[in-house]
Structure 1
Amino acid sequence: MRAVVRPLSLPADRRVLVISDIHGNLPFLKGLLKKVQFSTDDILLVLGDILEKSTGGLDTLRYLMDLRRTHTLFFLQGNCENVTLDFLNGAWPDQAAAQYGNFWGEKCAWVSMAHQAGVDVSDPKAFPAARQAIEALFPEELAFLRAMPTILLHEHYLFVHGGVPREHHLETLSARACMKNDAFLDQGHRFQRWVVVGHWPVTLYHPDIPSAKPLLLPDRHIASIDGGCTLKADGQLNALILPREPGGAFSYRAYDGFPVMTALASQAPSPDPLNIRWGHSALEVLSLGEEFSRCRHLETGRELDILTDYLRQGPQGTYCLDSTDYLLPVTAGERLAVVRRTSRGALAKKDGVTGWYLGPLGEG
């Protein structure tokens, strides 16, 4: 299937916000829109992945569908919207669809739809009945998903969920390759327009200091904005705010829902931090502890303490959820978003950057 490209006009007198990869986290979406004081004067672009990875996908989709009745919104299809459409079109082999659906359960939109339609989809034999029931019960939602384009093309911007290899002949590109374009920034592309993408959590680009804030590359005209909402324990939902004039400065706001507390002591940053992230997280456990475990990170050979309940077992051995040994630079009196408190200190965030704060905390 080829990419669907639609022209986009953005009035100069209106604020334009761009978000991506909500993954069914309706509280984060509402929290972010409240934080940015989203109004009917604004324009909101949603770059896909409204669905999947959480049980709130359908509620989030319906919330945005209702919001567009009173506000100006534009949407792109992400690979996670395509999951539902591919299932309904029979694009997946039944066994692959069954494996995906059984793994994600109610966090998968088409599984949730099937269950609401009264069809158990644990067995592929039920798929034909499930497809028919979903089409009958969710016509408005499915029409909305199917109407989403792959690319929105503006004079100064190209919006796409995953990424593109070029700015010309876009209609000849594979739609799926535009939506699921992993590690897009590592491909070396440069553009004349600003290409704004989601899909790949930006923290995956940082081997040292974990950061979830939008990653802007002015020399290449790329903005990557996926803050790891829902997928990461310290994730956030970002809103990139486009400059009012071409060539102006971007800004952003973010929402992560964590409690805010005040640092009561200063702390210097650690000099050589490590960001253990998806795809680079294989470990050897040296000493298993109740709260922390001493581990060796296989890729770098570094030894560090990992939260024990972040450890996982996979087909290739032990790995962990995103972890770091980074100590945040903190000045007494600064406010920190607290991801988790432990006996050794707090895993915290400051301006989208995650690290450890070992000092005392006071009420926010």
Structure 2
Amino acid sequence: MARKVRVVRTQLPAGRRVLAISDAHGNLPFFQGALKAAHYTPDDVLVLVGDLVEKGPDSLTMLRAVMELAQQNTVFCLNGNCDNLVREFVEEPGAVEDPFYDHYLKVWGERCLLIQMGRAAGLDPRGPEDLPALRRVIREHFAPELAFLAAMPEIMITPDYLFVHGGVADEEQLEGLDAWRCMKNDDFLSQGHSFRRWCIVGHWPVTLYHPHVPSAAPLLLPDRHIASIDGGCSLKWDGQLNVLELPQTPGGAFHWYAYDGLPTAVALDGQAPSVDSVNVRWGRNVLEVLERGERLSRCRHLETGRELEVLNEYLYHDQDGVTRCEDSTDYCLEIAPGDTVSVVRQLPDRALVKKNGVTGWYFGRLSEKR
């Protein structure tokens, strides 16, 4: 039977700064870097909008760090589809068939919280025959962590804000919803919903919404009162962890901060932006390789027919043998001399860089990376 959503109705503490983060995905350095970028202090209220763990290198360490932070400071944690994985595996065996977990563990390996917990308890699961033992050791060794994950609701609602990892259709009809649909709600912004409160969501990396220019910056839709803030941390090679600062008073301006862990450099030359570009992103990334080069290959994006150069290391074949790529673009950033940029990849004649969350190519000179 589908589990019903858990809704917490509360008031945010008055007079204190409120910061929202989503989809840290077990990346403790990014989490720490994002808090530092936002100048986080114990006086701030922190709302973690799901997917705290999984698919990153530090899920167990990250979970314990947040548990400790929540004991000391005001921290609200919401359940995301990835956070739900361990609880469901341990508490509801049979709700999802074991072949799913076996496949998931093989795909994510060291980046899976189940694997990290098992190894910390002295068990190295190798196949489906080890899953019962893995359940047992997690129950025996991680009671505090399991209790923390189990206590996280799917929705937190205040007079001015609705926080939910995946999204909901109607802010007035919450109790009784299917919990899973609130945690995993793909392509939420394309569903046409609008809200009276601001709805703060994650789950779907915001760059997936941009067909032309790849941007990981929080996507704010004032006319619909939706803020989508997943910057692709741990999942995108140029991903970042965003921190959204809520307005001090309703109707005020949002601010945001981010950390991407990339080296930075100063642009020495100006560059005009592209007037026409494509953002080849996950789910819409089938390519035909036209000409192989040493570092870049000329490719045709089959969805749009657009030809562009793609980094060879970004090319891969899926399980069906279809050629695809990691997120790629032919967009050229607007750059002014003196701009500081994050350097994603450096080539002899160009660099793939980021500025204000937007990724694109730069053909000018860069200072030494820092």
Range class of TM-score, shorter chain: over 0.9
Summarize the alignment of residues 81-230 of structure 1 with structure 2, pairs less than 5 Å apart: 81-88=83-90, 89-90=92-93, 91-230=95-234
1:12 and 1:245 in contact (8 A); partners too: no
Quote the residue 2:315 is aligned against. Answer: 311
Quote the residue 2:327 is aligned against. Answer: 322
2:26 and 2:59 in contact (8 A); partners too: yes
Among candidates 352, 357, 362, match of residue 352 of structure 1: 357
Summarize the alignment of residues 205-284 of structure 1 with structure 2, pairs less than 5 Å apart: 205-284=209-288
TM, length-normalised to structure 1: 0.98
Structure 2 counterpart of 1:51, one-letter code? V
CA distance in 2, matches of 1:161, 1:76: 7
Quote the residue 1:338 is aligned against. Answer: 343
CA distance in 1, matches of 2:99, 2:334: 49
SS of aligned partner of 1:289: coil
CA distance in 1, matches of 2:347, 2:141: 46
SS of aligned partner of 2:46: strand
Structure 2 counterpart of 1:142, one-letter code? L
Pairwise CA distance, 1:164: 0.4
2:59 and 2:116 in contact (8 A); partners too: no
Pairwise CA distance, 1:290: 2.1
4+ residue segments displaced more than 6 Å: none
Summarize the alignment of residues 22-61 of structure 1 with structure 2, pairs less than 5 Å apart: 22-61=24-63
CA distance in 2, matches of 1:128, 1:214: 41
Root mean square deviation of aligned Cα? 1.1
**Structure 1: unaligned runs, 5 residues or longer:** none
TM, length-normalised to structure 2: 0.96
Q: Which digits, 9 at most, give the CA deviation of each residue in 1:292-340, with x for residues without a partner?
A: 0111100011111100010000115000000011000111111111111
Quote the residue 1:10 is aligned against. Answer: 12
Quote the residue 2:68 is aligned against. Answer: 66
Structure 2 counterpart of 1:158, one-letter code? L
**Structure 2: unaligned runs, 5 residues or longer:** none
Paired positions, count = 364
SS of aligned partner of 2:227: strand
Quote the residue 2:367 is aligned against. Answer: 362
1:21 and 1:198 in contact (8 A); partners too: yes
CA distance in 2, matches of 1:344, 1:83: 44
Quote the residue 1:21 is aligned against. Answer: 23
Please say which of residues 48-57 and 140-149 is displaced more in the overlay. Answer: 48-57
Please say which of residues 104-113 and 225-234 is displaced more in the overlay. Answer: 104-113
SS of aligned partner of 1:68: helix
1:20 and 1:226 in contact (8 A); partners too: yes
Q: Give aligned-pair identity as a percent.
A: 55
SS of aligned partner of 1:177: helix
Please say which of residues 96-105 and 151-160 is displaced more in the overlay. Answer: 96-105
CA distance in 2, matches of 1:194, 1:41: 23
Please say which of residues 29-38 and 295-304 is displaced more in the overlay. Answer: 29-38
1:202 and 1:224 in contact (8 A); partners too: yes
CA distance in 1, matches of 2:293, 2:178: 48
CA distance in 2, matches of 1:191, 1:342: 45
